[in-house]
Amino acid sequence: MSKIAVLIAVALTAATVTIVGCGGAVEQPAAGVATQPQASDAATAAPVRPSPLPATPAVTIVATATPRPTNTPSAAQAVTDLGGRLRIASVPPVQQLVGSWLGTTTAANMQVRPFSDPLIHTDRFDGSLVPGLATSWEANEDGTQWTFHLRDDIEFQHGWGKFTAHDVPHSTGLIVKEDAIASDTGIFRELFGNTYDDVINNVVVVDDNTVRYDVQVPNSIVDFFISAQQGNLFMYSKAQFEAEGLDGYEARPAGVGPWQFEERTLDVNLLYSRVPDHYRRSPFFEELEWVLIPEENTRLAQLKTGQVQIGEISRELHIDAVGSGLEVVQSQLPSLQVTFIIGGVYNPEAGSECADGGERCFYQPDEPHLDVRVREAINRAINRQEINEQLFDGIGQPHVVWGYHPALPGWNSRWLEEHEEKYGFDPERARQLLKESGHEGYKVKLLLTELPGVPEMIPMGEATYTYLTNVGIDVTSEAVEWSTYRADYYRPGRTHGTIAASRGTYRPAEITVRSYNRSGPTGFWRTSVDPRTDTLYDLATRSMDPVVKADALRELGDLKFDLYSEAPIVWLPAQLVIDPREVGEYVWPGNINASFTHTEYITPAQ
Amino acid sequence: MAAEDRTSPVPAAAQDTEALQPERSRLSLGLSEMRRLPWFPVVVLLVVLVIPAVFANQIAPHDPTRGSLSSRLQPPVWQEGGNSEHLLGTDKVGRDILTRIIYGSRISVIIALIAIVVSGIIGTALGITAGYWGGWVDALIMRLVDISLSIPIILLGLVLVAALGPRTSTVIGVIVVLLWSRYARLARGETLAVRVQDFVSRAQVAGSGHIRIMFKHILPNVFNSLVVLATLQVGFVIILESTLSFLGAGVPRPNPAWGLMVADGRELVASEKGWWVSLLPGMAIMLVVLSMNLLGDWLRDRLDPKQRQV
């Protein structure tokens, strides 16, 4: 073979390997150079103090938060000139949409939050619920009626008129529509009605500035569900809907947020412009653009070259980012909780039939995970400290009971005190427990799933493969899409013999308990280590007495902790990389289902 | 016939001629061919693919699926911070890269061998049948071949793996579905040329059955071309399997497939913190594929001069 032929073969092979290595990814369109900050009227740019009207709960105390004014921005006080276009590089969401009812909370938050507001907002420093479109709210004694008093000075964008109480039932009804797939669709149907018309009946317009939610099932955290923290219920214009239908929302949705929707190009970007006189905070940049870039290195490259000012970059690349003069900033509060769900632990008293007529679903008495010693062994086998230090760079906070955080109602300080003793890394003890239980060497399928916000999920799963194997468990692993996991495993009650990593957000404990531990159709995973789970959950959810509620949650947490319900790993803050030459301050709570919130408070570098 | 003797070392129809050649000249011919072996690809294949695949259990220094997080992302021995315990460094989970490359070669070899043998058998049988029978049988099989060749390979692979689940057997099945048509087309073409030869006519006159003629007289005469094709396909199959694994539709975790290893470190490929995680298995893929292609070219020159490149 001639030399030329050899050289051609080498080149072709190298190109082939490159193609394999690049996964055939389509190159992202080059983003333009960031617009330079432009001068603007100082009066508009000056910080605006939030509404002076504190909420005044009249009848009951809301356990999740105390309504109060939003904190005044700090660095924002010094801003005199507006920035130009703020470009944020992000992972493209699964659905690209402008309707929060059509997507998961994460997708909705990122795309909808800039141009629309919820009734109740979230403080950017401490994550508490604060007045938004509603200046105050109250509930009756049994939590079946929630009344919200609305601002009367809000106009919809694009000239769609004044925001009134009539827009509230309409916006709420969207969440329960047949095509709605928002995270909260289930709970909204349970609380407010199964159809759009039901909701229109149950969300009563008292007057133009007052709206009352008549709740079908007593619930003590209705304000949380309709707040910015949960993030599914944003206000849309009823007038626009009646004139243009959902097509109008798709093309040019009118909201009441600090940014105004301008345009989007699927898979490329979403563009918003500044609302100059917003009631909460007018942005410090003229425009906001989400630049959708799937590849990690491309996002980092755009940050390094100044094509974007903020980027969602995985922790593994932070060292490269910092080396290039960029800065890593993190949220004020924990953003995500990470755990392993121990499958097959169903409530024997709940008993559900297999949806497809099969035989092995829900409670199966021969399931090894029903033995608390096996669940303890799993917890003992996992080295949480090593995971936190090696995979999460040590930024994680201890996580002792899935769904519970020291700052949330229902916390028990005993858990943290006893954590090392009961959950500490101890492979020998794990082996002994497995032996005592008679399940030494039992078979487990470790389900590996990638989830937004935690790129370390797969490595963490593979590390756990090693941990579990080391104590003698016969582990096989399978990478599954989350949708497959949902459809094939936890929805039909077939999580037997599985361990799956999952991640949740920072929210009241009962929300997590509802999804992961409650039996019956309201639950998803239905992990129930004790039959009292459902009773305690119902008590915690329905009681308007904060003491009763906290006690019920604490007792539920005790059961989860003492009986090793899950294998919680870590609480994590959200992290972003910013270009300090362009961005001054970015303070956001992180306790919301999205990395990027409170963008209106981001200041340009001075 | 004389021309056929030169192209095929062991054609069935030339057994009489071959029997007359002295044993010594056959040995000398073999040694002569050995001297012409392209040593670079042979050595690379032995070192990177064959020996690791066969002796993985004996030569791999660590467990391929288990690692220690405390050892994660250790650089190769020649880089600052590296150590001799992990000559090629470790991945994100602390698994030894060298060990995973060694075991990964076994996966590549197993998948390539099984896929090529199975698709070769199916494709050859159908190709010879089409070429020998002609008519509607030929038309039917060739249309199936056309359909198979028109399907986007990666897309079909992803769909099948998504439907059947990411298992090694699924990957092999996908590759077989994709490859058989190439053998069928080649076997058919060769059969069309061979079936009009005198020895086939003589066999028919002598009363041989169709099956016997196809597989006793025609198959040996198309075999060399198929061997060349198979050799060239090894590199392609490794690339295909790596691509599927890279896309998460191939060999399941935590098995050390090369494509999966490339995928594991793709975001670190430009980082000082972990460039080796992707690059080293990528180099293994490149070396093996390059070597297989060079060896295939050499084999084609030796066994199938009709297709020799200019």
DSSP assigned state of B71: G
Chain A residues with CB-CB distance to B157 below 8 A: none
Please state, in angstroms and rounded to a whole number, the distance separating the CA atoms of residues A273 and B107.
54
Give bridge partners of residue A503 from the DSSP assignment: A338
Q: Give the CA angle between residues A241, A245, A248 to the nearest 5°.
A: 90
- Please indicate whether, in this complex, the C-beta atoms of B273 and A477 are within 8 angstroms of each other: no
For residues A131 and A53, the answer to whether their CB atoms sit within 8 Å is: yes
Question: All domains of chain B, ordered by start, with CATH?
Answer: 93-302 (1.10.3720.10)
The pLDDT tens digits of the residues spanning B95-141 come to 999 999 999 999 999 999 999 999 999 999 999 999 999 899 999 99
- In whole angstroms, give the CA distance from residue A529 to residue A531: 7
Q: What pLDDT is recorded for position A44?
A: 34
List phi, psi (to 5°) of A140: -80, -175
How confident is the model over B57-80, as a mean pLDDT? 93
Residue-wise pLDDT for A23-41, tens only, equals 333 333 333 333 333 333 3
Q: Which residue of B has its CA nearest to A294?
A: B267
pTM score? 0.78
- Chain A partners of B290 at a C-beta cutoff of 8 Å? 9-10, 13
Interface membership of B254 toward A (CB under 8 Å): yes
- CA A117 to chain CA mean position, Å: 17
Cβ-contact B260, B266 below 8 angstroms: no
Q: Looking at residue A136, what DSSP letter applies?
A: E
For tokens 């629309």, name the residue. Answer: A116
Q: What is the ipTM of this complex?
A: 0.72
pLDDT for residue A363? 92
Instruction: Pull the structure tokens for residue A485.
Output: 């996991």
Closest-CA distance of chain A to residue B131, Å: 32
Question: Does B246 sit within 8 Å of A21, measured CB to CB?
Answer: yes
pLDDT at position A183 is 75
Which candidate from B68, B263, B268 shows the least CB-CB separation from A316?
A: B268
Q: Which of A13, A296, A465 sits opposite B267 (nearest CB)?
A: A296
Q: What angle do CA A341, A346, A350 make, to 5 degrees?
A: 145
A327 to chain B, closest Cα gap in Å: 17
Q: What is the mean pLDDT of residues B14-25?
A: 53
Answer yes or no: do A478 and B165 touch at CB < 8 A. Answer: yes
- Which of the residue ranges A399-403, B219-223, B237-241, B285-289 has the most confident prediction, judged by mean pLDDT? A399-403
Distance separating alpha carbons of residues A381 and A468, to the nearest angstrom: 6
According to the model, what pLDDT value does residue B174 have? 86
Report pLDDT for A537: 94
Positions in chain A short of pLDDT 70: 1-79, 94-95, 104-107, 593-595
Q: Which tokens go with A384?
A: 């949480």
SS3 A206: strand
**Averaged confidence pLDDT in chain B:** 84
Measure in Å the smallest separation between the Cα of B31 and chain A Cα atoms.
20
Q: Helices H, strands E: what count in chain B? A: 15, 0
Q: What is residue A23's predicted lDDT score, i.e. its pLDDT?
A: 35
Q: What pLDDT does residue A6 have?
A: 44
Q: In chain A, what are the domains?
A: 333-572 (3.10.105.10)
Q: Which residue of A has its CA nearest to B274?
A: A316
Pairs across A and B, CB distance < 8 A: 120
Q: Which residues contact A93 (CB under 8 A, 6 or more apart)?
A: A103, A104, A106, A107, A110, A111, A292
Share of chain B above pLDDT 90, in %: 42
What number is the average pLDDT over the span B300-308?
Answer: 67
List helix spans (H) across A203-349.
Answer: 222-225, 238-251, 296-304, 318-323
Condensed to tens digits (0 to 9), the pLDDT of residues A136-193 reads 999 998 889 999 999 999 999 999 999 999 999 999 999 999 888 887 788 899 899 9
For residue A239, what are its two tokens? 């007038």
pLDDT at A76: 56
By C-alpha distance, the chain A residue nearest B69 is A390
**Among A297, A462, A466, beta carbon nearest to B267:** A297
- Of the ranges A294-303, B42-51, B60-69, B187-196, which one carries the lowest mean pLDDT score? B42-51
pLDDT-derived band at B308, boundaries 50, 70, 90: low
User: Who's near A14: CB < 8 A, 6+ residues apart?
Assistant: B286
- Put simply, the answer to whether A316 touches B165 (Cβ < 8 Å) is no
